[in-house]
Amino acid sequence: MSKVLRLPAHGRLLVCTDLQGNLGDFEAMAAHFRRAVAEDPDTHVVFSGDLVHGPQRAPEDWDPWLGDWYEDDSIGVFEAFLRLAEEHPGRVHALLGNHEHGHVGGVHTAKFHDDEVAALERRMSGALLRRFWAFCAGLPLVAVSPSGVVVTHAAPATPLTGPEELEAVDYKVPWPLPRTLPEVLALPILGPLLWARTCPPSLARGFLAALLGRPDGFVVHGHDIVHEGYEVSAEGALVRLSTSFGCFDAHKRYLDVSLSHRWTSATELREDHELRALYPDAPPHPVWGRDYV
Ligand SMILES: [Mn+2]
């Protein structure tokens, strides 16, 4: 399985980040995708990793930094993803996130359980678990389009000479697994691409040049929460997008871009055109961390 997903130079691309087991948000995204397909059958959707591993907490134990309450349904999201991919062959894609990576040789995350990998695997039947392992092991790391739009899970905080370096990555991290965030980030390529919150413009532009043969375009990534829904950074080389996890419904955003356009910078992205609300009818809500803490 290739680590680099190549998207065509025509049609439309939707990008959705970190769902972390939020089935309601998955269904909202699937509805946007089905509507886009009805308008343009040549539409692709990329889920940029972390489909799984959410909180299982009662509403009274909820924290406001987690956005609107939901209960983890990682298995439901995985099964719904498989159904959507079956419904639209070759058009529904996912990248490896650090949460999927834990199931196939990476560091086990410990956000909502001491070991989220073990906690999810305990809930799966043997047949489902084997299917999930094969799914995770086959996920690409990066999606690339000639339009200049590149999708990663976390920020591309790594030097890169070309796609062959990504193809050579082994998801099985050598033992002992790193234990601290600095140790994780020090893993070549996989550490930054699955865990980095941001990166300087020079690295982002170098990453784009290594994959596109030119330093323009932009990288869209998730992994870290933007409570406002999105943030353009690295002088237009990056847009950090939050479609689901950690946001209130009013702020959740997904990307909807033309693949026939040639993008030079994320500063070209317009609110309500390319940066769209997951829930356009959600009532306004103050932004956590900005309007209140
Ligand atoms: Mn992540």
91 CB neighbour count, 10 Å cutoff: 18
Burial label for 273, CB within 10 Å (0-12, 13-18, 19+), is exposed
- pLDDT score, position 57: 94
- pLDDT score, position 47: 99
Structure-token pair, residue 241: 């997008």
Cα(102) to ligand 1 centroid in Å equals: 11
Structure-token pair, residue 174: 């050598």
Cα(179) to ligand 1 centroid in Å equals: 16
Cα(221) to ligand 1 centroid in Å equals: 10
Cα(195) to ligand 1 centroid in Å equals: 6
Cα(268) to ligand 1 centroid in Å equals: 26
Q: How confident is the model over 138-190, as pLDDT tens digits?
A: 999 999 999 999 999 999 999 999 999 999 999 999 989 999 999 999 999 99
Cα(41) to ligand 1 centroid in Å equals: 30
Cα(225) to ligand 1 centroid in Å equals: 9
Residue 227 vs residues 257, 264, 292: alpha-carbon distances, Å: 22, 25, 11
Q: How confident is the model over 233-265, as pLDDT tens digits?
A: 999 999 999 999 999 999 999 999 999 999 999
If DSSP codes are grouped into helix, strand and coil, which group holds residue 103? Answer: helix
Q: For the chain, which residues make up each domain, given as ranges?
A: 4-277
Residue 45 vs residues 48, 85, 224, 235, 257: alpha-carbon distances, Å: 9, 10, 20, 26, 10
State the Cα–Cα distance between residues 144 and 150, nearest whole angstrom.
5
Q: Span 4-277: which CATH code?
A: 3.60.21.10
Cα(215) to ligand 1 centroid in Å equals: 25
User: What phi, psi does 201 have (nearest 5°)?
Assistant: -55, -35
Q: List the chain residues with pLDDT less than 70.
A: none
- pLDDT score, position 234: 97
Cα(16) to ligand 1 centroid in Å equals: 13
Cα(93) to ligand 1 centroid in Å equals: 17
DSSP string, 128-189: HHHHHHHHHHT--SEEE-TTSEEEESS---S--S-HHHHHT--SSPPSSPP-SHHHHHTSTT
Cα(9) to ligand 1 centroid in Å equals: 28
Residues that place a CB less than 5 A from ion ligand 1 = 50, 97-98, 223
Cα(38) to ligand 1 centroid in Å equals: 31
Angle between the 126-137 and 74-87 helix axes, to the nearest 10 degrees?
60
- pLDDT score, position 17: 98
Q: What is the pTM of this model?
A: 0.98
